[in-house]
Amino acid sequence: MGRCSRCGSYAINHHLHGRNGSRRDLCDVCYWRDIAETFADDRIELLQQLAMAEDAANKGDKARKVAQSLVDEVTDLRAELALSKET
């Protein structure tokens, strides 16, 4: 019987506790801990990507508002210029 490569335990039961036979170097506890950590790491990465996408969207909204403000300002200046030419 082998020992767990992570903690040294001999409690390696590949056929029990819902194990699928993978990660034969880990004991039962370390096997499930590894799955939980992998899941948590994937979830953290997804949350970070979501936060970056949200930041980019917010920056895009701000840029659009600034651009629209500039367009409005130019439109107003053109209108004023047209009025001054008429008088």
Burial class (CB in 10 A: 0-12, 13-18, 19+), 31: buried
Q: Name the percent of the chain in helix, strand, coil, to the closest 5.
A: 70, 0, 30
* Res 86: pLDDT: 65
* Res 27: pLDDT: 92
**Is 79 contained in some domain?**
no
**Is 75 contained in some domain?**
no
Structural domain that includes position 42: 1-62
**Is 46 contained in some domain?**
yes
**Is 70 contained in some domain?**
no
**Is 35 contained in some domain?**
yes
Q: pLDDT category, 1, cuts 50, 70, 90? A: low
Q: Give the number of domains in the chain.
A: 1
pLDDT digits (tens, 9 = 90+) for 29-76: 999 999 999 888 888 888 888 888 888 888 877 778 888 888 888 888
pLDDT digits (tens, 9 = 90+) for 11-34: 888 888 788 888 889 999 999 999
